Chain A
């Protein structure tokens, strides 16, 4: 329940173009590493499979960390920014 004075501000910020390019590269590498891991296991190259899984996990963690950091590091919207 809200009274009539409550104002909910939703700010939508566009991510810069390079963010999407980086995200695409990240996704491409993830797909490549997971495919290598699965294929290597099928071909009995267990060491290659293990290294690929580890690299995929590290890259996934780095991706999530990067995403969260960018969200948290946003400056709060100053009162005078509000119109």
Chain B
């Protein structure tokens, strides 16, 4: 047996060493990219998504105040009148309606009748949800859920509570869930009226036990110190067909999914013996809560960009008094990438996005909430383009290099490298264009593609 044992030569040793090193490097890269399971119900996050003490962008100063709650939809009409005189808004709506009919007749891709009606269908759940009523009810609704708090209250450690809530949220359709502390300054001052017959209602914080909706105000109990921040991914196959009514279905569906998720989660939390207020875009600014909860980073779009789905997400949230462990903000190198990239600003048809190298506190108009640092956008220009194009655009969301499918491994590698080596950002930006990412896909082809329900997983 002795003769069979050969001494290991230097070359064999080097070869074996090289193999082990290469395998080790691959393994390390794999772990860096895919992340390691935590054993909790959290979605596994890649290692290159680091947690930090405070968000990388969005810092506030003394000017930061609760926002009025009036969004671009409410502001556009008076601003249009101010810019172009009385009747300009109405004239614009008439010509938009005529244009849409003409484009349908001309068979303009993405503007066929089915294309237009697809997003109408996708809006259904969201359009039947209004803050404080129906699906988005702030209180225990008889018939749908018990009107009394449960006799038994579910109690566990804050970490277990967070895991339980996150698991439920993910079952209902949330893909990213984080827990942030309540911050009253992120909550809007008012819920704007939905039609002329109604009144704007104030949103107030009071020392009460249950949330209340009266004729004049929405009352949030001060004991609601936890916010479940949620991101729902948009369908990127639809988003790749923007700016068309067909592409609009991606946003519409995102909103309807959001309404479903937050309303289901609110009922679940109430069933555990606590209070819950479900909100989609209403009631509070979703982005700062999502930043604090580590869902993503603030970007040149002045929107949240997530490491997994880029800016192609819809955000929503649930306020609650159920005590949970808070999550931390994240840093995956996005702010540095945005400084170099500027792709969204370049492709924006209305030139609404900032080309500034650095973010600042300088706002662009009354639609921006002052007092925080970001790249502010010109929402008036953006919204005007929506009217001209007969769609809710979204080209900026589709073009972002972080908006990618999850099938090609290389994207994870690129994001991992960009997170630790900002010097590579310029090269990745050039490659993103060279590979043709972010371009509009053929709208007509969408109708013969696999649908999400056909895809596995």
What residues make up the interface of A, taking CB atoms closer than 8 Å to B?
A: 14, 16-18, 20-21, 24-25, 28, 32, 35-36, 39-40, 42-48, 51
Contacts and interface: CB of A to CB of B under 8 A. Distances in A.
A21 B18 CA distance: 6
Contact of B408 (A21, A40, A47, A51): A40
Contact of B435 (A14, A35, A42, A47): A47
Contacts of A16: 11
A49 to B, nearest CB: 9
Given A45-B435, A45-B436, A48-B437, A35 B409 contact: yes
Nearest to A51: B435
B15 interface: yes
B409 A17 contact: no
Contacts of B237: 44
A35 B410 CA distance: 8
Given A45-B436, A47-B436, A48-B436, A32 B409 contact: yes
Contact of B240 (A20, A25, A42, A44): A44
Nearest to A17: B14
Interface string B23-46: 000100000000000000000000
B434 A51 contact: yes
A30 B435 CA distance: 18
A44 B441 contact: yes
B22 interface: yes
A32 B22 contact: no
B18 A43 contact: no
Contacts of B17: 17
A20 B15 contact: yes
A56 to B, nearest CB: 12
Contacts of A25: 22
A36 B441 contact: no
Nearest to A31: B409
A16 B434 CA distance: 37
Interface of B, helix, strand, loop or mixed by DSSP: helix
Nearest to B21: A21
B157 interface: no
A contacts with B: majority SS: helix
A51 B433 CA distance: 12
B456 to A, nearest CB: 12
Contacts of A46: 436
Contact of A24 (B19, B240, B435): B19
B18 A36 contact: no
A8 B449 CA distance: 63
Contacts of A48: 408, 435-437
B405 interface: yes
A45 B18 contact: no
Nearest to B14: A17
B407 interface: yes
A46 to B, nearest CB: 8
Contacts of B435: 40, 45, 47-48, 51
Contact of A36 (B15, B21, B409, B436): B409
Given A20-B19, A21-B18, A24-B18, A45 B437 contact: yes
B42 to A, nearest CB: 25
B410 A17 contact: no
A36 B26 CA distance: 17
Interface string B405-426: 1011110010000000000000
A51 B437 CA distance: 12
B15 A17 contact: yes
Nearest to B23: A24
B457 to A, nearest CB: 13
Contact of A39 (B240, B405, B449): B405
B15 A28 contact: no
B410 A36 contact: yes
A48 B407 CA distance: 13
From A20, A25, A46, name the one whose CB has the most chain B CB atoms within 10 angstroms.
A20
A75 to B, nearest CB: 19
Contacts of A24: 18-19, 22
Interface string B387-431: 000000000000000001101111001000000000000000000
Given A36-B408, A44-B237, A46-B436, 19 more contacts: A14-B11, A20-B19, A21-B21, A24-B22, A25-B22, A32-B413, A35-B408, A35-B410, A36-B409, A39-B408, A40-B407, A40-B408, A43-B408, A44-B441, A44-B449, A48-B408, A48-B435, A48-B437, A51-B434
Contact of B18 (A20, A28, A42): A20
Nearest to B409: A35
A39 B11 contact: no
A51 B15 CA distance: 33
Contacts of A42: 405, 407
